[in-house]
Structure 1
Amino acid sequence: MKKLLLLSFFLVPLFAFSQENEQMTLEQKEILKKKFDSIEASFNYKYGKITLQNGIAELNVPEGYKYLGPKQSAFVLSDLWGNPPSECLGLLFPKNMSPLSEDFTYAVEITYSDEGYISDEDAKDLDYDDLLDEMQQDTKVGNEERKKLGYESIFLIGWASEPYYDAETKKLHWAKELSFEGYDKNTLNYNIRVLGKEGYLNLNVIGDIDVLPTVKKDVDYILSSVSFTEGNTYADFNPEYDKVAAYGIGGLIAGKVLAKAGFFALILKFWKVIAIAVVGAFSIFKKKIFGSKEA
């Protein structure tokens, strides 16, 4: 976690900030504060209807949220939070929050996967307790590989919210409670999937487990805010032309697609969880350097 925290500060190469040398001059603090203020001012948030993935889907920014576009979201995820580069359709933030907020709690990352049409035939027969046991075992096996590569272990504590699939709207959501080695607060990973004819939209809510009540309160608004456009919906699937994914609803929840890419894909998938969770520690640093807003 501490190594990831240092990644957040590479934006300020004016001085070599390290774990052993946290003392900064007033001039250095002022330079750093101006840098943060400049980054904050650069964010161009949007509201209303947003076109996603070249028009195959739309987002109506839900009440109480604001949207950051793909380019600036990539900057936040990779440059600011230290994640590996990845394709992102945007980020949703609570309206009163930004990536550098002292009281940052969570963000919603929006991506698209073109894995193909997900058959939902298995949805009605899934045993979520059995699925959880399987996922916990997979996580343990993944930790062995993570250790070899020098990464901390991840522990899947259980469902923070049991999977729910709406067969009518073709929308699926569930939440996992995760524990990261060396981090004293558990992490929430709330997953939302919207199925289309050639793939699915991912809306991943990531933050500390404390935000679960807020996310559960808002999940219906988030679910209803995104949809595929005409010609790209689940009902538009044509088996003669469209690709079919190699897994169903159970595989989508369990993340079985990652097995094809190997354990390193598992590491990259969860790196975002760690990086976003560490922003809480980042806010403590800001308060220590600049003081709280009430001071």
Structure 2
Amino acid sequence: MFKSIAAAVLGLSLSLGVWAKTEATQELPPEIKALRWQESGKGEIADKASVKIPSGYAFLGEADTSKLLQAFGNPPSSDHFLIAPKSLDWFAVFSYDDTGYVKDDEKIDADDLLKSMQSGDKAGNEQRKKLGLEALYTDGWQVPPHYDTATKRLEWGLRLRGESGEKNVNYTSRILGRSGVMTATLVSDTATLAQNTDEFKKVLAGFDYNSGQTYAEFKNGDKVAAIGLGALVLGGAAAVATKKGLWGAIAGFLAAGWKIIAAAAVALFAGIGKLFGRKKAAE
């Protein structure tokens, strides 16, 4: 089962270095600045991989990532890790799924996958409603899904629309490994997606699986996943973004009372089930 990332607010205009300046020259609450931002070295991700932290960037571990995502009006999460430029113009959230070794020989049908994603909006929004969150709809591909055999990355960009009209983009990269898949989701505003995607990919160049965990280190007898590339895209459909005002996000952060709530997943099981159904019919 794929963990869903309900990723967060876009386009925050914060000053570099201090994580503090905002609208009307006000300052962020100390609780946000007090998160354990790691500003150098490597960020460790789920004991499976790491990412280098470039100059001008910072990394959050699991607990602090959950706090920040909830501050931005998202469902509580666990097993997620975050890296962002200190401007917070965008950020990326990492999570790992021990699916097993995913064979990368499947042809991707982007149109069919999009239809499956859109058919799952209703069920996903029912779950969001229970959590007191705004409905979110799948508008279409910003970047159709594509797979790079050299980097073992499956990537796509999804346009999303909130019920109040805000439009945002999640750009997702799934990096295949020996025993599972690492997901890195870029949360970006549509207007700055191209620039932010370039920066995101530069950060991903510093991503490495730990020794023994790379795709090339697969050995006979290792667990092989029952899914292919198409199902990985559908599993990423729950990586959704909301757009709230900065101070609304801060209010949500303070109201949360710094409590880490049990993770709540919003997954597109219907779409994934349809995909498996078609595969079985074809066999």
Q: Helix, strand or coil: the match of 1:198?
A: coil
Residue 169 of structure 1 is matched in structure 2 by 151
Instruction: Report the alpha carbon displacement of residue 143 of structure 1 after superposing the two structures with TM.
Output: 4.8
- Larger helix proportion, structure 1 or 2? 1
User: Structure 2 length as normaliser, TM-score?
Assistant: 0.68
Structure 1 residues 36 and 225, CA, compared in 2 at 3 Å: closer, same or farther? same
Q: How does 1:130-141 map to 2 (within 5 A)?
A: 130-140=112-122
Residue 229 of structure 2 is matched in structure 1 by 249
Is residue 193–residue 201 contact of structure 1 (8 Å, CA) maintained in 2?
yes
Is 1:94 the equivalent of 2:78?
A: no
1:229 maps to amino acid: N
- Structure ID, larger Rg: 1
Residue 99 of structure 2 is matched in structure 1 by 115
Residue 41 of structure 2 is matched in structure 1 by 48
1:93-147 C-alpha deviation (Å, 9 max, x unpaired): 11333xxxxxxx422111111122211110xx22323322332233356557767
1:116 maps to amino acid: G
Distance 1:65 1:58 in 2: 15
Distance 2:110 2:91 in 1: 26
1:258-292 C-alpha deviation (Å, 9 max, x unpaired): 8xxxxxxx5xx54xx22xx225463798xxxxxxx
1:206-237 C-alpha deviation (Å, 9 max, x unpaired): 24322312222223213312121221111222
2:203 to 222, 228, 233: 222
Instruction: Report the alpha carbon displacement of residue 200 of structure 1 after superposing the two structures with TM.
Output: 1.2
Instruction: Report the alpha carbon displacement of residue 87 of structure 1 after superposing the two structures with TM.
Output: 2.0
Residue identity over aligned pairs, in percent, reads: 33
Structure 1 residues 119 and 61, CA, compared in 2 at 3 Å: closer, same or farther? same
Structure 1 residues 174 and 40, CA, compared in 2 at 3 Å: closer, same or farther? same
Is residue 92–residue 184 contact of structure 2 (8 Å, CA) maintained in 1?
yes
Distance 2:123 2:62 in 1: 34
Question: Any gaps of 5 or more consecutive residues in structure 2?
Answer: 1-7, 10-25, 252-283
Is 1:199 the equivalent of 2:180?
A: yes
Residue 189 of structure 2 is matched in structure 1 by 208
Structure 1 residues 140 and 37, CA, compared in 2 at 3 Å: closer, same or farther? closer
Q: Whose RCO is larger (CA < 8 A, sep 6+)? A: 2
Moved more, 113-122 or 125-134: 125-134
Structure 1 residues 62 and 249, CA, compared in 2 at 3 Å: closer, same or farther? farther
Residue 71 of structure 1 is matched in structure 2 by 63
Instruction: Report the alpha carbon displacement of residue 204 of structure 1 after superposing the two structures with TM.
Output: 1.0
Distance 2:49 2:131 in 1: 38
Distance 1:254 1:223 in 2: 22
Residue 81 of structure 1 is matched in structure 2 by 72
2:224 maps to amino acid: V
2:49 maps to amino acid: A
Is residue 73–residue 249 contact of structure 2 (8 Å, CA) maintained in 1?
no
Structure 1 residues 37 and 168, CA, compared in 2 at 3 Å: closer, same or farther? same
Distance 1:39 1:126 in 2: 41
Residue 154 of structure 1 is matched in structure 2 by 136
Q: CA RMSD in A?
A: 3.2
1:53-104 C-alpha deviation (Å, 9 max, x unpaired): 22x31211245422122232222223x335343223421111333xxxxxxx
Is residue 136–residue 162 contact of structure 2 (8 Å, CA) maintained in 1?
yes
Q: Helix, strand or coil: the match of 1:45?
A: coil
Instruction: Report the alpha carbon displacement of residue 195 of structure 1 after superposing the two structures with TM.
Output: 0.9
Is residue 134–residue 162 contact of structure 2 (8 Å, CA) maintained in 1?
yes
Is residue 172–residue 193 contact of structure 1 (8 Å, CA) maintained in 2?
yes
1:36 to 19, 29, 41: 29
Question: Any gaps of 5 or more consecutive residues in structure 1?
Answer: 6-32, 98-104, 259-265, 286-295
1:185 to 158, 162, 166: 166
Instruction: Report the alpha carbon displacement of residue 52 of structure 1 after superposing the two structures with TM.
Output: 2.4
Distance 1:161 1:279 in 2: 26
Count of residues in Structure 1 that have an aligned counterpart in Structure 2: 228
Q: Tell me which stretches of 4 or more aligned residues in structure 1 moved more than 4 Å.
A: 140-152
Instruction: Report the alpha carbon displacement of residue 244 of structure 1 after superposing the two structures with TM.
Output: 2.2
Is residue 171–residue 223 contact of structure 1 (8 Å, CA) maintained in 2?
no
Distance 1:76 1:144 in 2: 23
